[in-house]
Amino acid sequence: MLKLFLWLKYLRKRRIILLSIAAVAMSVSLLIVVASLFTGFIAMFERSAVEMIGDVTIAAPGNLTIAKYPELINRLERLDAVEAATASLSSEGLLYLGQGNVRFVSVWGIEPVSRSRVTGFKTALILQGKMEGELSFAVPDAPGEIGGFVGIGVVSEPNDLTDEYDREGALKEFIGRRITVTTGTVDSGTDSNQPEIPKRRVIPFRVVDLVFAGVHDLDSGFVYLPIDALQRELYPGKPGQLATRISVRLKPGVDAYQAANDIRELWGEFAERELGWSVFNIVDTDIYTAMQLQGPYVAEIKKQMGVLLLIFGVVSFSVVVLVFCIFYMMVKLKQRDVAVIKSCGASSTSVVGLFLGFGVSVGVMGSGIGTILGCLITRDINEIENWIRIVFGLKLWRSSIYMFSRIPNEVDWSFTLPIVGLAVLAAALGALIPAFVAARTRPVEVLRYE
């Protein structure tokens, strides 16, 4: 009870103690915000890969194509770990939007219904994403023409000040518009032993929807066409159904790496027996999880996060020095209180506990305030960034640079709790030496003139 009374007295009388609490709070909030932003960015990056290509992907090597893919999908979906699978046919091309307006794009042939089962593709469509029913490339006013989905960043530019797209304006201008993509392929058949034949194709189509996934690369570089229509243009006269990539969605709770091994085994048997591929081409086929695909980039981001946390951690270690200076000054100014306590029978250990406990309480209060502040800043980081844009005219976050249209705003508690614990430990460490100095106080020397 005496310790609590003295702590409250020092907090009330010695306002400089509030400075140490504020220092702990600022350090904790800074580290929480930095850690949460980095881990949130990594989570969004990994999630975008899953939403784009699925949990596991089979990619044909080189210029090969996967024939009989419906049969392969049927076999994949019979695996216990697989929930759904879909095929895609990809190429590169130039999209002609008008005089002097040509964009380089990736052209993907897809099956919209099965793709929406494997990925989050439907939620990215501005028009059909809000509608009930299945996705479709059908052109309402021209049933005989090819329909296509185009990334909103391909046909429009974001506002320089807000970094946001004019969705309504883009829909009004481009929905139903007839545009042309020039693409091609190097056809080596279904096995690389055949000679390569370069071919150029011009594909006119009508825009039936725009894609806004919130990921800059996806929004500004992709055009989606019906897979059968793209196959007719790229591989005319070739029998069967062709794909360059198979995307697989796994059931919840399934280990992706084990599932990838099962899929690799099934693929080897299918490619050898049904496609007649050589062992070299079977082994050369890329079968990877979304996490493996993003692994190298994520590893670099984690390195940057570690360096930043180390730098800010070293800077925040100044809290120890600040607490030491404040507590040492307080011990020197409050020697009479310490002497009175010891003259009443308190041991040196009790005096150490008094000041060490006070240091811990300062750390707890500062960490609590810092945690609340860090969580509030992280949660409202997009509103804060927008306020800075309005007041100062400064746009801090651009999707063209940071990939995503919004700043990650989820608090990472796996980093928050250790940060809080280290902050309390740092405050206690700063109070440790002053506590021992107080314990060495001699009541006779301090009170002899009282």
Please give the average pLDDT of every successive group of 10 residues along the chain, which has 450 residues: 56 70 91 93 86 89 90 95 95 90 94 93 91 89 89 89 86 93 71 62 94 88 95 86 94 92 94 92 92 86 89 83 80 68 66 78 91 95 91 82 84 93 89 77 58
Tokens of 289: 């999880």
Task: Give buried/exposed letters for 4-25 (b at 16+ CB in 10 A, else e).
Answer: eebbeebbeeeeebeebbebbb
pTM: 0.79
Distance CA 371, CA 352 (A): 28
Per-residue confidence (pLDDT) for residue 196, from 0 to 100: 60
Per-residue confidence (pLDDT) for residue 243, from 0 to 100: 95
Tokens of 223: 């055009």
Distance CA 430, CA 359 (A): 7
On whether the CB atoms of residues 262 and 79 are closer than 8 A, the answer is yes
Whose CA is closest to 219, among 231, 209, 227? Answer: 209
Instruction: Please count the residues of the chain.
Output: 450
Per-residue confidence (pLDDT) for residue 328, from 0 to 100: 79
Query: Which SS3 state, helix, strand or coil, does residue 16 take?
Result: helix
Tokens of 79: 């695996």
Per-residue confidence (pLDDT) for residue 415, from 0 to 100: 92
Distance CA 433, CA 359 (A): 11
Helix-strand-coil split of the chain, %, nearest 5: 55, 20, 25
How remote is the C-alpha of 86 from its chain's centroid?
25
Q: What residues contact residue 18 under an 8 Å CB cut-off, 6+ apart? A: 11
- Please name the residue that has the structure tokens 């200076």: 325
Sort 391 into a burial class: Cβ within 10 Å, 0-12 / 13-18 / 19+: exposed
Tokens of 75: 């076999």
> How do beta strands 147-151 and 197-211 pair?
parallel
On whether the CB atoms of residues 183 and 191 are closer than 8 A, the answer is no
Per-residue confidence (pLDDT) for residue 195, from 0 to 100: 57
Distance CA 309, CA 415 (A): 11
Residue 63 DSSP symbol: T
CB atoms within 10 A of CB 291: 16
